[in-house]
Amino acid sequence: MSDRILVFYGSYRSDRTGIRLAEYAARTLRARGIEAELIDAKQVDLPMLDRMYKEYPPGEAPEAMETLAGKIREADGFVFVTGEYNWGMQPGLKNLTDHFLEEWFWRPAGIVSYSAGRLGGVRSGMLWHGTLSEMGMVVISSTVAVGPITKTLDEDGNPTGDPGQSLERSFARFADDLAWWTEAAKLQRQRTSPPY
């Protein structure tokens, strides 16, 4: 049975270039035999956080939240594709993520960041590392930083030029790292129940 990885993306902008990277990540993982699904925060369209999923009585959470909670619980790992907004996180992705907590526990997460500039969203990636760790995920050490994104992936999400080749190399290592931790976490969950 192949690993199930959810790829999260969170921009709400009308001209979203980061969606190229999110689609590239999901497509590339699928090509490796992984069951990867892209979760687009804009399409899920959860409201600004009022109640977390766990704060609803069983069966009373909004349908979109209930569906996503099930997908998160069934996943073996996660990839967060994040842009950088003024040295910070994308609010749409952060809002979606904050609706859940225990659903994330005991699985690995990888961070793929991007920006229009040359730093590739690394400041946002650093912020996500602490956040995802606090939410019970094991954040893998490999990261991917893409910038400038429009010079790395064309409008169809295909790698282009030297930056695209660099992305392909770094994403291969990233995917290997994620697969290792996904397998390790699955085996450990089979051996023993998590401590809480």
User: For 72, what's the count of Cα atoms within 13 Å in the CB-facing half-sphere?
Assistant: 25
Q: How far apart are CA 39 and CA 92, in angstroms?
A: 12
pLDDT digit string (tens) for 56-93?
A: 999 999 999 999 999 999 999 999 999 998 999 999 99
| Domain count for the chain | 1
Kindly state whether residue 23 falls inside one of the protein's structural domains.
Answer: yes
For 115-125, b/e burial (b = at least 16 CB within 10 A) is bbeebbbbbbb
Kindly state whether residue 48 falls inside one of the protein's structural domains.
Answer: yes
Kindly state whether residue 176 falls inside one of the protein's structural domains.
Answer: yes
**196 pLDDT band (50/70/90 cuts)?**
confident
For 24-34, b/e burial (b = at least 16 CB within 10 A) is bbbebbeeeeb
pLDDT at residue 135 is higher than 80: yes
**Beta pairing class for 108-114 and 35-40:** unpaired
Q: How far apart are CA 41 and CA 11, in angstroms?
A: 7
Kindly state whether residue 196 falls inside one of the protein's structural domains.
Answer: no
Q: How far apart are CA 16 and CA 12, in angstroms?
A: 8
Q: How far apart are CA 177 and CA 159, in angstroms?
A: 21
Kindly state whether residue 124 falls inside one of the protein's structural domains.
Answer: yes
**195 pLDDT band (50/70/90 cuts)?**
confident
Check which CATH number belongs to the domain holding 50 and give it. Answer: 3.40.50.360
pLDDT digit string (tens) for 103-128?
A: 999 999 999 999 999 889 999 999 99
89 within 8 A of 148, measured Cβ to Cβ: no
Average pLDDT over residues 46-63: 97
pLDDT digit string (tens) for 3-31?
A: 999 999 999 999 999 999 999 999 999 99
What integer pLDDT is reported at residue 156 of this predicted model?
A: 93
Q: Average pLDDT of the chain?
A: 96
Which range of residues forms the domain containing residue 45?
4-191
Question: What percent of the chain clears pLDDT 90, i.e. is strictly above it?
Answer: 94
- Note every long-range contact of 147-151, with CB atoms under 8 Å and residues 24 or more positions apart, other chains counting: 147/114, 147/115, 147/116, 147/117, 147/118, 147/119, 147/120, 147/121, 148/115, 148/116, 148/117, 148/118, 149/17, 149/18, 149/20, 149/21, 149/114, 149/115, 149/116, 149/120, 150/17, 150/116
Kindly state whether residue 174 falls inside one of the protein's structural domains.
Answer: yes
